[in-house]
Structure 1
Amino acid sequence: MISITEWQKIGVGTTGFGIFFILLGILLYFDSVLLAFGNLLFMTGLLFIIGLRRTFSFFFQRHKLKGTSFFLGGVVIVLLRWPLLGMFLETYGFFSLFKGFFPAVFGFLGNASNIPFLSETAPSPEGRTELND
């Protein structure tokens, strides 16, 4: 079993609040204060969860510098109250940074779609598939 420290629990909560404020800022027509606050909480939570050294080693790998510059540049632009441009840059940077994780996420989602009550078709007792009503 994986042991989670108190700092990591705080980091999960802080990251969750950061994502909440980012989504709320987007829903409220790119409110720059909510987006900036969400970005700061998200980055602080990430530091608490994986640590300072691992965070810097993740973001500043040679092949990820383009994504890091777009992501952190977007954070800075949001902090300078240009929320729409900043969020576009952050989104591009996010996808560029985490493109290696997407196959695993989609693979998990593919496995989750085979769960009987989540899938569109359910197996019949004879082994055939029938559409659920």
Structure 2
Amino acid sequence: MWLSDTQKIGVGLTAFGLFFMLMGVMMFFDGGLLAIGNILFLAGLTLVIGTQKTIFFFGRRQKIRGTMCFFGGIFLVFIKWPVLGVIVEFFGFINLFGDFFPVIIGFLRRLPVIGNILSAPGISKIVDRISGQRLPV
């Protein structure tokens, strides 16, 4: 499956949004960088999956707590409470996107170097716990 030009732009905006959020945290919770990162992340996500699917994703009834925390955290960043905003936003992010962690971990385990690291004896137990995978007993 090939990406359309709009989706390619969305991937770039999402990546830049994550980069700006990371830089905002590294710069001691700089509110401006965090706000720009949030805007770019949401714009990129909307371009990648489409407007209707984005509204449906954030509007699902079973994920309402994650949605409220995510957007509440963004609001707190905008009103100059970046530390509390990032904490609340991270909690919402985990609630919203936590279902994707097993898929992401499975993909990373198939990569040549990273897969070997994630399959190491001590690390694999931690990664399995994070991704929610259970081993048969």
In structure 1, runs of 5+ residues without a counterpart are 122-133
Between stretches 97-106 and 30-39, larger displacement belongs to 97-106
- Describe the superposition over 1:76-124 as per-residue Cα deviations: whole angstroms up to 9, x where unpaired: 1101111000000010000011121112222333444xx4796369xxx
Pair 1:119-2:116 in alignment: yes
TM-score relative to the length of structure 1: 0.81
> Structure 2 CA distance, aligned partners of 1:117 and 1:34?
29
Structure with greater helix percent = 2
Question: Could you say what secondary structure the match of 1:101 adopts?
Answer: helix
Question: Could you say what secondary structure the match of 1:70 adopts?
Answer: helix
> Structure 1 CA distance, aligned partners of 2:53 and 2:45?
10
Residue 90 of structure 1 corresponds to which residue in structure 2?
A: 89
In structure 2, runs of 5+ residues without a counterpart are 120-137
Which structure's CA Rg is the greater one? 1
- The 3 A distance-change label for structure 1 pair 80 and 102 is same
CA contact (8 A) 2:73 2:85 kept: yes
Q: Percent identity?
A: 44
Aligned CA RMSD, in angstroms, stands at: 2.0
- Describe the superposition over 1:41-97 as per-residue Cα deviations: whole angstroms up to 9, x where unpaired: 110111111110000111111100000000011011101111000000010000011
TM-score relative to the length of structure 2: 0.79
